[in-house]
């Protein structure tokens, strides 16, 4: 998702959650400014959809009181909110937002970002720092550009990093029984031939 900043007065988080410009545009809040996010490219969208389906299946299989969402928001600071590609939250967290915009103020259990050419710095640097500050327990960076998945696990204020490639299965503390390889994830971004 490519950002383009919309200049105006600094918004509070509450202003951001209530903001509606009458369009289908989606925004992140970065230091009080709206940053418009472009729609994901097809490969990015397909990978995020696949991961949401895989995690939904795991949640059902183990009867966890969790929900998996695509493109939900996460408050990352006083005047900051990010849109995640995929996130997993508790049912209680979701209940808190009944009738409200899906922007979580408490830390999801897991956040996944799929890297696009225009989001490399945002996903690897800015979101990593903001998610660590929130103490999000697990953060995956799925990088089709580099053919790898980085699984970050929160540990004493920082993320421990494990990088997976090819036919390696991811190791996920949140989903310890998950059997999923990088190749499977990246293949999800390919359209079948017509």
Domains of the chain (ranges plus CATH)?
40-187 (3.90.1570.10)
Give me the mean pLDDT over the 163-189 stretch.
Answer: 97
Residue 66: the pLDDT is 98
Q: What is the pLDDT of residues 124-163, one digit of tens each?
A: 999 999 999 999 999 999 999 999 999 999 999 999 999 9
Sign (positive or negative) of CA dihedral 121, 123, 124, 126: positive
What sign for the dihedral angle of Cα 115, 121, 124, 129? negative
Alpha-carbon separation of residue 177 from 9, 54, 141, 182 (angstroms)? 47, 12, 20, 16
Predicted pLDDT at 133? 94
The pTM for the full model equals: 0.89
What three-state secondary structure class fits 105? coil
* Unique residue bearing structure tokens 């397909």: 46
Would you list the DSSP string of 83-100?
A: E-SEEEEEHHHHHTTTTS
User: Is residue 1 pLDDT above 50, yes or no?
Assistant: no
* Residue 68 structure tokens: 């998996």
Q: Tens of pLDDT along 139-149?
A: 999 999 999 99
Among 3-12, 117-126, 173-182, the minimum mean pLDDT is found in 3-12
Handedness of CA 189, 1, 122, 74 (dihedral sign): negative
What is the dihedral angle through the alpha carbons of 173, 179, 184, 186, rounded to the nearest 10 degrees? 0
- 23, burial (CB in 10 Å: exposed 0-12, middle 13-18, buried 19+): exposed
Confidence (pLDDT) at 14: 85
Please report, for residues 18, 91, 167, 187, the alpha-carbon distance to residue 175 in angstroms, rounded to integers and kept in the order given: 34, 16, 18, 21
* pLDDT greater than 90 at residue 16: no
Q: Are 182 and 168 in contact (CB under 8 A)?
A: yes
């Amino acid at each position: 998702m490519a950002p383009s900043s919309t200049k105006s007065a600094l918004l509070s988080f509450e202003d951001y959650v209530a903001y509606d410009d009458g369009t289908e545009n989606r925004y992140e809040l970065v230091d009080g400014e709206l940053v418009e996010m472009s729609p994901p490219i097809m490969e990015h969208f397909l990978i995020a959809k696949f991961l949401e389906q895989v995690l939904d299946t795991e949640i059902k299989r183990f009867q966890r009181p969790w929900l998996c969402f695509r493109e939900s928001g996460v408050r990352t600071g006083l005047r900051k909110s990010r849109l995640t590609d995929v996130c997993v939250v508790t049912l209680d967290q979701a209940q808190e937002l009944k009738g409200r915009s899906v922007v979580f103020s408490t830390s999801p259990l897991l956040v996944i970002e799929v890297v696009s050419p225009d989001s490399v710095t945002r996903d690897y640097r800015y979101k990593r720092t903001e998610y660590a500050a929130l103490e999000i327990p697990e953060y995956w960076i799925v990088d089709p550009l580099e053919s790898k998945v980085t699984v970050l696990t929160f540990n004493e204020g920082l993320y421990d990093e494990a990088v997976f490639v090819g036919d390696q299965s991811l190791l996920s503390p949140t989903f310890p029984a998950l059997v999923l390889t990088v190749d499977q994830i990246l293949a999800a971004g390919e359209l079948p031939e017509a």
